[in-house]
Amino acid sequence: MKFFVDTADTAEIRDLAETGLLDGVTTNPSLIHKAGRNFLEVVREICGIVAGPVSAEVVATDHKEMMREAGILRKIADNIAVKVPLTVDGLKTCKALTGEGTMVNVTLCFTANQALLAAKAGATFISPFVGRLDDIGTEGMQLISEIRLIYDNYDFATEILVASVRHPIHVLEAAKIGADVMTAPPAVIRQLFNHPLTDRGLEAFLADWQKTGQSIG
């Protein structure tokens, strides 16, 4: 499973990229607002840090204007994935852009039928928001299982990008279902590395090693 980080904080992205485990980045208008920086400038910087797909979202709601904005975004770098909302105009834009060889991430997906439409529109990624579904009392991960089944039934190449990930259990469940990608905030990705028994075990090994009086090399 590919790991994307869901942030526009370039210091966090640099730090996680150094692990060698980061495959891409997703941003959205709210994350750009949080970063407090110029949109095009921050996206350009992110594309220089990570070689994999970097999602940058259009803010227009009609097809023509979405295409104009996408034209600006895709010129930033070859690894831009233009993010469009799951609307009629968004999917029209998706079809046009992927037809021209641009990666497209279709965002704000909340049903399997929406995911089916995105795949038919040739989306590179579909982003179902599991956390926001959990928030309204439904089981977000159930949607991932449904999309996996449908995409496998028809051999769709669209990658399932599990979004709105809130905790490590979401990551684990997404991996068990066979999602292609997950995007999570930096703090959730960091949580994946940790276990108290790892810390305690390492502490004990190092204490015993010191008692041997030896050094390596």
- 6 is a site residue for ligand E4P (CB under 6 A): yes
CB of 129 to ligand E4P, least distance (A): 5
- 28 is a site residue for ligand E4P (CB under 6 A): yes
Residue list 39-68, contact with ligand E4P (CB under 6 A) = none
- 82 is a site residue for ligand E4P (CB under 6 A): no
Q: Determine which residue in the list 151, 164, 181, 189 makes contact with ligand E4P, applying CB under 6 A.
A: 164
CB of 132 to ligand E4P, least distance (A): 5
- 158 is a site residue for ligand E4P (CB under 6 A): no
- 107 is a site residue for ligand E4P (CB under 6 A): yes
Q: Do residues 82 and 105 make contact, with C-beta atoms less than 8 angstroms apart?
A: yes
Select 157 or 187, whichever has its Cβ closest to ligand E4P: 187
Give me the active site residues, please.
Answer: 83
How far from 129 is each of 30, 50, 160, CA to CA, in Å?
15, 23, 11
CB of 28 to ligand E4P, least distance (A): 4
Q: Total binding residues for ligand E4P by CB under 6 A?
A: 11
CB of 3 to ligand E4P, least distance (A): 13
Q: Determine which residue in the list 12, 26, 126, 181 makes contact with ligand E4P, applying CB under 6 A.
A: 26
Query: Binding residues for ligand E4P, per CB under 6 A?
Result: 6, 26, 28, 107, 127, 129, 131-132, 163-164, 183
